[in-house]
Amino acid sequence: MHRPVLARALTRAALALALAAGLAVTAAPDASADSGTFQQVSGFGSNPGGLAMYTYVPAGLPAGAPLVVALHGCGQSANDYDSDSGWPKYADAYRFAVVFPQTDSGNNPLSCFSWFDAGKDTRGNGEAASVVQMVTEAESRYGSDPHRVFVTGLSAGGGLTADLLADYPDVFAGGAVDSGLPAQCATTQSAASGCQNGSQNLTPAQWGDKVRGSYPGYTGPWPRVAIWQGTADYTVRPVNGTELRDQWTDVWGIGQTPSTTQSLPGGTTLTSYADGAGHPAVQLYSVSGMGHGLAVDPGSGPEQCGTTGPYFLAGICSSYYTARFWGLTGPATGGLPAPTGLAVTGTTASSVALSWNAVAGATSYDVYRGGVQVNTGAVSGTSFTDTGLAAGTPYGYSVAAVDSSGTVGPRSATVDATTTGGSPVTCYTTDNYHQTTAGRAHQSGGYTYADGSEQNMGLWNLFTTHTLAETSPGYYVLADSGCPA
């Protein structure tokens, strides 16, 4: 049962804390759903944000599958989002795992994620750090592809999604902000309602600076961002969709003139903003007449999903179009087998050269960087050079075979490549105890976590050894497979 709460009925303190989305009374999470399993995961890290971790994992999910993080709105739970958002349907269909973080009234009176609190929504801190620890745990448990991790959220969850994309562009390949706020729109509780209710009168460059300031020194690649906004949303005003568009197009350096505009079901207008290679980098979905909530479209069709209810509003299946934008809706099985032998044959400051073994019956190949297809024409041979990259930056690649009917087969295992140039990376190899005493990691509950990235390094002792790469001052990542050049 759900009990809506109007903004005018909230106290000033509660309004500053919440997105006025509503209160809900829900049952405990169901143990299973559809062909996969929905369950709670404990012990995923030091959890500075005090969140709970739930996951939905399709049966028989192979290693190397993508990972989606889905953040509920105020007054909702992980179980609500699992049941009503439609994400499990596409996890089953297209083979990826979903993490559902959950906050509660102990963190916020209305169980809202704290998108407006600089002590909780910034890199390495609070709820943001807890979500990234969940990603690390899921990658370890399910073998998820670290280059195809995506995050989406509704309302306050959408606000935190934007913050996470700004804080951790090295973790998330893409995001979707549903009825949410621009990254770092508010940094105090008192400023939260102003962001919800009106324009902040900032230029695109000023909005972009809020993203760039969330991870100083980061040079890309940036995540691809989908923005969903109802034109009749009086809780998070439609101007927030425009400001999110301004923010992320500025970060990408592509301007605010749409590359394409098209009509979709449910009175939805999609405006796309392409990168230099012609691939959509930012998309704004404006849903005519929709209020505050997540757009769903109940039904059994391939483009239908979800269950209507408070803040799950009928019109269009936003989860399907978001998954399609992220490149998750291609065939997971069928067609030709995945290519083998994918290898990096050379790098420059702006390019990566790849080669792979031929697949019998293939007429061409598709090449993916960070889960997004990068070839604009058919690749008929077994080699490809990706250009226009940032110096000294790591990238992940996979490749799929295409048969004569145009069917795209499953993708190969991902290989990593780092372009030359940029700031030098220093690596340190020693046991977890000495990594901690040297100030490159910290321990909690008997486990060791890398400073900055919060990656779980295993038990805190003298016997577990890892290599840590310092990719920016005070920020360390696991580099056991080799120190980036």
Tally of CB atoms within 10 A around 143: 15
The pair of structure tokens assigned to 300 is 């059994």
d(CA 256, CA 415): 34
Nearest to 145 by CA among 337, 332, 281: 332
Q: What does the longest C-alpha to C-alpha distance in the chain come to?
A: 67
Q: Which helix (H) or strand (E) holds 191?
A: none
**Chain centroid to CA 157:** 12
Mark whether 155 is an active-site residue: yes
DSSP structure string for 204-246: HHHHHHHHHTTSTT---PPPEEEEEEETT-SSS-THHHHHHHH
Q: What is the DSSP letter of 459?
A: E
CB-count burial class (<10 Å; 0-12, 13-18, 19+) for 386: buried
The pair of structure tokens assigned to 435 is 């990594």
How far is the first Cα of the chain from the last one, in angstroms, to the nearest whole number?
A: 55
153: alpha, beta or left? (left if phi > 0; alpha if psi -120 to 50): beta
Sheet containing strand 465-472, edge to edge, reads 426-431, 465-472, 475-478
Type of residue found at 133 = Q
* CB contact set of 377 (below 8 Å; sequence gap of 6+): none
Chain position carrying tokens 């075979």: 401
Nearest to 380 by CA among 359, 398, 409: 359
d(CA 372, CA 415): 14
Q: Where are the alpha helices (DSSP H) in 2-66?
A: 12-17
CB-count burial class (<10 Å; 0-12, 13-18, 19+) for 238: middle
d(CA 68, CA 99): 6
The pair of structure tokens assigned to 203 is 């230029």
Q: Give the β-pairing of 174-178 and 52-57.
A: unpaired
Say which of 130, 144, 155, 193 is annotated catalytic.
155
The pair of structure tokens assigned to 237 is 């005003």
d(CA 308, CA 297): 8
Instruction: Give the active site residues.
Output: 155
